[in-house]
Homo-oligomer: A and B are copies of this chain.
Amino acid sequence: MYSFINKMNFYSCLTHEEKAAIQGCVDSKHYFAKGQTLARAGEKPDRINIVTEGWACRFKSAHDGTDQAISFILPGDQCEDISPIQCSLDHGIRALSDIRITRVDRQKLLSQLTPGSGLTNGLAWASIVDKSIMGEWLLNVTRRPAVMRLAHLLCELFTRSVIIGRTEDNSMYFPLTQVALSEALGLSPVHLNRSLQLLRRRKLVSLSRKTLTILDWQQLAEFADFDNNYLHISGKPPVSLRLAS
């Protein structure tokens, strides 16, 4: 739960009371193994599930049975919208690694959403960033060639990991298989593999044993045409500093 509060606190600024109040909404904790489905399209969940450890993804299934990932859920992210409106999911959610989840009482949490509260602002931020990311993915997938597309996604995921404090130097935990990456990027697994090899050959990244290391951030970001504006992190000194190095 620390991960969620930390994220809210990053975007907004929570008082001690607010943090405690959020803690008070916790209902239960759960564990899911890699590959398990956390939610299916059409469901109408009445709890909020927050991923506290591990990665998941939202995905939609196409006419031909293939899946497209529409976003990644990292520690601190919720599976459901936290909104007064409750509507059925239009996509599924799947664990991409073993994950830990904290379930929260929806009504209790909603009651914290008074105008101006830290939680209200934090969630508003998070929502804007989510939308921005989807816009950037749209651009990524339609306008950038495969290698660049992959490089861009790696930049994004590294930056997001920095934000939630899950990097160590230039390395990060990276549980995605090549198939999962290809489903996010709209590429075939085969071609994704070839693109990844190009990045490795250029000594921009190294990726093995679930660890991604950025070998040359400047070069990688430039190559990917990566501009972190869309993540709306400007004015968050700790992160800016980390990324400048």
Instruction: Tell yes or no: A87 within 8 A of B by CB.
Output: yes
* Interface members, chain A 83-126 (any B CB < 8 Å): 83-85, 87-88, 90-91, 110, 113-116, 120-121, 124-125
Instruction: Tell yes or no: A193 within 8 A of B by CB.
Output: no
Establish whether residues A68 and B138, one from each chain, have CB atoms under 8 Å apart when the complex forms. Answer: yes
| Copies of the protein in its oligomer | 2
Task: Specify the main secondary structure of chain A where it touches its partner.
Answer: mixed
Closest to A227 in B: B90
What is the bound-complex CA distance between A64 and B148, given in angstroms? 12
Residues of B contacting A134 with CB < 8 Å? 70, 131, 134-135, 138
What is the bound-complex CA distance between A144 and B85, given in angstroms? 31
Instruction: Tell yes or no: A137 within 8 A of B by CB.
Output: yes
| Interface locus among A17-25, A55-63, A168-176 | A55-63
What is the bound-complex CA distance between A137 and B127, given in angstroms? 18
Establish whether residues A186 and B141, one from each chain, have CB atoms under 8 Å apart when the complex forms. Answer: yes
Instruction: Tell yes or no: A230 within 8 A of B by CB.
Output: yes
Establish whether residues B84 and A120, one from each chain, have CB atoms under 8 Å apart when the complex forms. Answer: yes
What is the bound-complex CA distance between A42 and B230, given in angstroms? 10
